[in-house]
A and B are shown apart, each in its own frame.
Chain A
Amino acid sequence: MEARPVLRPLTTLLNSCSRAGQTRLASSTRRTKKALKLPPHPSFLVSGAEADHITYNPPSAAPSVYHTPFKFLPPSDPRRQAQLSSLLRGSTGLAATAAVSNPTTVPATETTEKREVPALEEKHQVPVPKYNVTREQVAEMRALRASDPMKWSVVRLAERFECSKLFVMICCKASAEHQARERERKEAIKARWGPSRSLAREDRKKRRTLLLRGEL
Chain B
Amino acid sequence: MKRLRLDRLASQLLAAPISPAARLSRPSRISRSIPQACRHSSLYNTQPCQRRHQSTAVEPAPLEEELVHEPQDDESRPKPLRSSRGLPSPHPARAASSAKLAALHARLSLSSKIPVETLARALVDPSADAHPKYNNANLAYVGSTVLHYHTSETLITRYPRLPMDILFAAMKAYAGNPALHQVARAWGVEAAAAPGGEVDPGLLQFDPMKPTVVMNKWGYVRAETIESQTFKSGKGISGRVMYGSNPFGESSAAKSLPDLDDGRNSKTMLLQNAPANAYANFVRAVIGAVHMHCGRDAAKKFVMSHFLSRTLDLSKMFEFKLPTRELARLCAREDFDPPVARLESETGRLSRTPVFVVGIYSGMDKLGEAAGPDLDSARIAAAITVLKSWYLYSPGQVSVPSDTFAEDAAPWKPAYVDIGEIIS
- Judged by a CB distance under 8 angstroms, whether A70 is at the interface is yes
Q: B315 to A63, Cβ gap below 8 A?
A: no
A120: contacting residue among B319, B321, B342, B392, CB under 8 A = B342
Chain B residues touching A, majority SS: mixed
A118: contacting residue among B343, B372, B385, B392, CB under 8 A = B343
Given contacts A63-B369, A66-B392, A69-B366, A214 and B318 within 8 Å (CB-CB): yes
Instruction: Considering the complex, give the chain B residue whose CB is closest to the CB of A118.
Output: B342
Q: B320 to A212, Cβ gap below 8 A?
A: yes
Q: B342 to A212, Cβ gap below 8 A?
A: no
Q: Which of B47-55, B218-226, B357-365 contacts A (4 or more CB under 8 A)?
A: B357-365
- Judged by a CB distance under 8 angstroms, whether B152 is at the interface is no
CB neighbours (8 Å) of B365 from chain A are 69-71
Interface centre among B316, B321, B359, B366 (most CB of A within 10 A): B366
B367: contacting residue among A62, A69, A74, A119, CB under 8 A = A69
CB neighbours (8 Å) of B342 from chain A are 117-120
- Taken together as a complex, chains A and B put the C-alpha atoms of A118 and B366 apart, in Å, by 11
CB neighbours (8 Å) of A100 from chain B are none
CB neighbours (8 Å) of B361 from chain A are 117
Per-position contact with A for B364-404: 1 when CB-CB < 8 Å, else 0?
Answer: 11111111100001001100111011101111000000000
Given contacts A118-B343, A118-B359, A216 and B392 within 8 Å (CB-CB): no
- Judged by a CB distance under 8 angstroms, whether B323 is at the interface is yes
Q: B381 to A65, Cβ gap below 8 A?
A: no
CB neighbours (8 Å) of B323 from chain A are 212
Q: B340 to A120, Cβ gap below 8 A?
A: yes
- Taken together as a complex, chains A and B put the C-alpha atoms of A73 and B390 apart, in Å, by 9
- Judged by a CB distance under 8 angstroms, whether B338 is at the interface is yes
Per-position contact with B for A43-79: 1 when CB-CB < 8 Å, else 0?
Answer: 0000000000000000000110111111111101100
- Taken together as a complex, chains A and B put the C-alpha atoms of A66 and B132 apart, in Å, by 46
- Judged by a CB distance under 8 angstroms, whether B336 is at the interface is yes
Within 152-167 of B, Cβ neighbours of A (below 8 Å) are at none
- Taken together as a complex, chains A and B put the C-alpha atoms of A69 and B342 apart, in Å, by 17
Instruction: Considering the complex, give the chain B residue whose CB is closest to the CB of A75.
Output: B416
Q: Taking the nearest CB of chain B, how far is it from the CB of A127, in angstroms?
A: 11
- Taken together as a complex, chains A and B put the C-alpha atoms of A14 and B386 apart, in Å, by 62
B389: contacting residue among A67, A77, A117, A216, CB under 8 A = A67
Q: B380 to A68, Cβ gap below 8 A?
A: no
- Judged by a CB distance under 8 angstroms, whether B344 is at the interface is yes
Q: Taking the nearest CB of chain A, how far is it from the CB of B101, in angstroms?
A: 42
Q: Taking the nearest CB of chain A, how far is it from the CB of B311, in angstroms?
A: 13
- Taken together as a complex, chains A and B put the C-alpha atoms of A119 and B361 apart, in Å, by 11
- Judged by a CB distance under 8 angstroms, whether A38 is at the interface is no
Given contacts A71-B336, A118-B342, A118-B343, A66 and B315 within 8 Å (CB-CB): yes
Instruction: Considering the complex, give the chain A residue whose CB is closest to the CB of B345.
Output: A118
B381: contacting residue among A69, A117, A216, CB under 8 A = A216
- Judged by a CB distance under 8 angstroms, whether A213 is at the interface is yes
CB neighbours (8 Å) of A117 from chain B are 342, 361, 364, 366
A72: contacting residue among B315, B338, B359, B393, CB under 8 A = B393
B393: contacting residue among A62, A68, A211, CB under 8 A = A68
Instruction: Considering the complex, give the chain A residue whose CB is closest to the CB of B362.
Output: A71
- Judged by a CB distance under 8 angstroms, whether A126 is at the interface is yes
Q: Taking the nearest CB of chain B, how far is it from the CB of A171, in angstroms?
A: 20
Given contacts A62-B371, A66-B394, A71-B365, A212 and B321 within 8 Å (CB-CB): yes
CB neighbours (8 Å) of B318 from chain A are 213-214
Q: B392 to A211, Cβ gap below 8 A?
A: no
CB neighbours (8 Å) of A214 from chain B are 315-316, 318-319, 381, 384, 388
CB neighbours (8 Å) of B394 from chain A are 66, 68
- Taken together as a complex, chains A and B put the C-alpha atoms of A72 and B418 apart, in Å, by 12
- Taken together as a complex, chains A and B put the C-alpha atoms of A211 and B372 apart, in Å, by 10
Instruction: Considering the complex, give the chain A residue whose CB is closest to the CB of B322.
Output: A212
Q: B392 to A212, Cβ gap below 8 A?
A: no
Q: Taking the nearest CB of chain A, how far is it from the CB of B369, in angstroms?
A: 7
Q: Taking the nearest CB of chain A, how far is it from the CB of B307, in angstroms?
A: 21
- Taken together as a complex, chains A and B put the C-alpha atoms of A211 and B380 apart, in Å, by 8
Given contacts A71-B336, A118-B344, A120-B340, A212 and B319 within 8 Å (CB-CB): yes
The interface of chain B, by Cβ under 8 A from chain A, is 315-316, 318-321, 323, 336, 338, 340, 342-344, 359, 361-362, 364-372, 377, 380-381, 384-386, 388-390, 392-395, 416
Q: Would you list 23 pairs from A and B whose C-beta atoms are within 8 A, ordered by A residue?
A: A62-B370, A63-B368, A63-B385, A65-B389, A66-B389, A66-B394, A68-B393, A69-B389, A71-B367, A72-B389, A74-B416, A118-B343, A118-B344, A118-B359, A120-B340, A120-B342, A211-B380, A211-B381, A211-B384, A212-B320, A213-B319, A214-B388, A216-B381
16 A-B pairs besides A212-B323, A214-B384, A216-B377 with CB distance below 8 A are A62-B370, A65-B315, A66-B394, A67-B389, A69-B386, A71-B336, A72-B393, A117-B361, A117-B364, A120-B340, A120-B342, A211-B372, A212-B319, A212-B384, A213-B318, A214-B318
